[in-house]
Structure 1
Amino acid sequence: MRIHTKFIGLFTVILSILMLLAACGNSNESSKPKNDQEKDTALTDAMGKVTIPADTKRILAPYMEDSLVALGITPAAQWSIGTAVLDYLQTDLKDVPKISWDLPLEQTIEANPDLIIFSSKASIQKGQYEEYKKIAPTYVYKDEDSSNWKKQLQVMGKIVGKQQEAEDRLSGYEEKTKKASEDIKKAIGGQSASIIWVAGDQYYLFENTRFAANVLYGDLGVTQPQMVKNLPEAKASWQPLSLESLSELDADHLFLVSKPGEAGLTKLKESSVFKGLSAAKQGHVYDMEDPSHWTINGVIANELTIDQITKSLAK
C-alpha cells in the first residue's frame, strides 16, 4: 500500500512537470510573431485609416486589373461597360466574371470580395463609401498615387503584400524601355510619330501626356510633331478633332488605334486629308486593332504598346 502511494505521488509530479513544459511550449508558440504576410496591414488612404485583412483572396479593383494581374493576382470580378472589357488582359481574365464599371452594390455583394479598391474618391458612385465598407474593407487611392501608373503599382504592391514583386516589374519595365528606345532611335533617328484613336466616327489625337503617348514620347523618346506640341493640356475627357483639322498633322509616322470596321476609320482612309498626310505618303501608317492597351495606363498595357511601337518603327 505504501509503494502504491509513492508511485501515485511520483506519477503526479512527472505529470505536473510535463503539463508545465507543454504550457511553456504553447506560450512560446503564441508569443512568436506572425509571418509578415499573415499580419493585417494598417494603411492610410484617401479616406483615412484602413486595415487590410491578412487572408485577403477576393479583390475588386475596377479598372486597376492591370496592376493586380501584374502582381499575379486574379480579381474576384473584372471591370466592364456592357460587354466591353479590357481586351488585352483577357488571356488572364477570360473566365473572370464581369462587374459593371460603377460597382452596383448588388453586384458587389454577389462578387463576395474580401477587399474593395477604388482608384479615387471620384470613382465611388453616389457617395456610397459607407455602404461598400459594410461589404468589405475598402481602400481608396489618393489622387497623387493613382494618377501615376508606376506609383499605382507600388501602392497596389503594398496593399496586397507584394511590394518586391511590384519593384521587380518596374525594374523589368525600365530595362525593356531602354532597349526599345535604343532600337527605335537607330531606326528612325529624330523622325516624329503620333497616335490617333478612332472610335465610331470620332477622331482623337493623343496629347503628349495621354496614355500611350506617355510611352511613345516620355519613355521611348520619340519626337513629337508640331501639331501634338500645340495641343492644349490633356483634360479628363477626350476632345475629338474634325477630319479636316487632321490635315495639319505633320507626323512622319502615324499609329491608328481602332477596332476593325469602325466607320470613322474607313472614312479617314478614303479622305483626301489622309492621303495628303506625310505619314501616309511615306507608307508609315500602322493599324493597331486593339485600342484597349493604348487607352489605359499600366505596366502590362505599356509593355504591349512598346512591343507594337518597336515592331512598327524599328523594322
Structure 2
Amino acid sequence: MREIKIRFLAAAAVFLLSALVAACGGGNNGNGGGAATIPATEKPQESSTEAPAAKVRTFTTVKGEVEIPVKPQRIVTDYYGGELLSVGANVVGVEPMAFDNPFLKERLKGAENIGDPINVEKTLQLEPDLIVVMYDKNYEALSKIAPTLYIPYGTTTDVYETVRLFGDIAGEPEKAEQFIARFEQKAAEGREKLQGVIDENATFGLYELTDKGDLWIFGNNAGRGGQAVYNALQLRMPEKMTGDDTQTLQLSLETLPEYAADYMFLTTYDPQKKGEAQKQLLDSSVWQGLSAVKNNTVFYNDFQTFYPYDPISVTEQIDLIVDMLIARSEENMNKK
C-alpha cells in the first residue's frame, strides 16, 4: 500500500506541473487565451539614439564667435540692463546709473552694482553664465569669468531691432515678440489720443543743456524721449533735422532758432543741481524770442526719466509725453 501511495502522489505532481505549464505557456485558443502581455504604458522605454539638446550655441560678434548658454540664467551687463529685462532675462549685475532709472528700479531689486567700468572681481563673485557689454574695457578679463558678448553702442537703431537682438541673446524670442506687441499697442493708443490735440504739421524738438552750458539737439535714437516721440508717436522733427542721420548735434545759442520746433522738450544735465546754466539760457533774449516759449509749448523734462533709451523706458515714456501734451493743450485752451 505504501508503494502505491507514493506512485499516486508522484503522478499527481506530474499532472499538476503539466497543467501549470500549459496555462502559462500555451498558445491562443478560441476563448482568447494566450501568453500574458505588458500594457503599452508600462513597457520599458527603448534607449534613445538622439543626441541630448545642446546647452550652448554659437553667437557671432564683432570680436568673433562666442559659445554662449542657450538659456543663460545669470547675466552681468554694463549698459544693457533694460534691454535684457525687456525679454525677461535675469540680470544679476549692472552699472550704477541703471539704479537711477525710474522705470527699472523695481526690476533691479535683486541685482548688484558692478561699477563703471565693470569691476572684474565683483563680477566674479556674482558667478554669471553670460556677460554682455557695450564697452570692451576689461573684455579679456571678463571673458575668463564667463562667455562675454561685446555689443557696441549703436548696434541697433530702434525698439524692434533691440528687443529681437536681446531676445536672441537671452534665448527668449517669444518674449521679444510679446514685448513688441505691447509696445505697438501702446504707441497706437498714444497716437489716437493725440488726434485733434496736436496739429499734424507741428514739429517737435529734443534738446539738452549741460551744467557747462553746452546745448545739444537729439534725433530718434539717442535717448531724451526720441524713440517715443519720433518712432512710436510718429511726431515730426524740426526741418533742419529731417533726413539727417546725425543723432546728436551741438548747437550754439545763436543757431538755436534754426533748430527750434513748435514743441520743445528740454532736459538739463546738472548733477550738482546748480541751476546756473539753465537760468542763463532761459534768461537769454534768444530763448525768450522762440515761438515755443511764447506759445507755452516748452517742456522741462527730468533728466533721469528721459535720458534712458532701453525698450522698457521708451514704452513708458510714450504715456508721459502724451499726457503732458494733452495737459498743456488744455491749459493753453483755458487761457484763451
TM-score tier after normalising by the smaller chain length: 0.7 to 0.9
Contact kept in structure 2, 1:40 and 1:51, CA below 8 Å: no
- Report what 1:174 is aligned to: 184
Which of 253, 259, 277 is the aligned partner of 1:264? 277
CA displacement at 1:286 relative to structure 2: 1.4
- Structure 1 length normalisation: TM-score? 0.76
- Report what 1:282 is aligned to: 295
State the percentage of identical aligned residues.
23
CA displacement at 1:243 relative to structure 2: 2.7
Give the secondary-structure state (helix, strand or coil) at the position aligned to 1:314.
helix
CA displacement at 1:295 relative to structure 2: 3.3
Q: Deviations over 1:56-85 (max 9, x none)?
A: 32201221111222223341111136x985
CA displacement at 1:139 relative to structure 2: 2.6
Change (3 A) 1:225 1:54: closer
CA displacement at 1:31 relative to structure 2: 6.1
Which of 132, 135, 139 is the aligned partner of 2:145? 135
Instruction: Show the 5 A alignment for 1:102-141.
Output: 102-119=117-134, 123-125=135-137, 128-129=139-140, 131-141=141-151
Contact kept in structure 2, 1:45 and 1:141, CA below 8 Å: no
CA displacement at 1:271 relative to structure 2: 2.1
Which of 207, 222, 229 is the aligned partner of 1:196? 207
Change (3 A) 1:143 1:194: closer
CA displacement at 1:305 relative to structure 2: 1.9
**1:157 lines up with 2:167 in the alignment:** yes
Counterpart amino acid of 2:285?
Answer: S
Question: 1:33, 1:110 → 2: CA distance?
Answer: 34
Question: 1:192, 1:148 → 2: CA distance?
Answer: 21
CA displacement at 1:53 relative to structure 2: 2.8
Q: Gaps (5+ residues) in structure 2?
A: 1-42, 328-336
Question: 1:40, 1:239 → 2: CA distance?
Answer: 45
Give the secondary-structure state (helix, strand or coil) at the position aligned to 1:51.
strand
- Report what 1:252 is aligned to: 262
Counterpart amino acid of 2:58?
Answer: L
Q: Gaps (5+ residues) in structure 1?
A: 1-23
Give the secondary-structure state (helix, strand or coil) at the position aligned to 1:174.
helix
Give the secondary-structure state (helix, strand or coil) at the position aligned to 1:101.
coil
**1:67 lines up with 2:83 in the alignment:** yes
Question: 2:100, 2:116 → 1: CA distance?
Answer: 10
Which of 209, 214, 224 is the aligned partner of 2:237? 224
Instruction: Number of aligned residue pairs: give it.
Output: 282
Give the secondary-structure state (helix, strand or coil) at the position aligned to 2:194.
helix
Instruction: Show the 5 A alignment for 1:11-160.
Output: 25=44, 28=47, 39-46=54-61, 47-53=63-69, 56-80=72-96, 85-94=100-109, 96-119=111-134, 123-125=135-137, 128-129=139-140, 131-141=141-151, 145-160=155-170
Change (3 A) 1:115 1:287: same
- Report what 1:207 is aligned to: 219
Q: CA RMSD in A?
A: 3.3
Give the secondary-structure state (helix, strand or coil) at the position aligned to 1:205.
strand
Give the secondary-structure state (helix, strand or coil) at the position aligned to 1:240.
strand
Larger Rg: 2
Normalized per residue, which structure has more helix? 1
Counterpart amino acid of 1:92?
Answer: R
CA displacement at 1:249 relative to structure 2: 4.0
Contact kept in structure 1, 2:71 and 2:170, CA below 8 Å: no
CA displacement at 1:132 relative to structure 2: 2.2
Counterpart amino acid of 2:319?
Answer: D
- Report what 1:20 is aligned to: none
- Report what 2:39 is aligned to: none
CA displacement at 1:107 relative to structure 2: 3.0
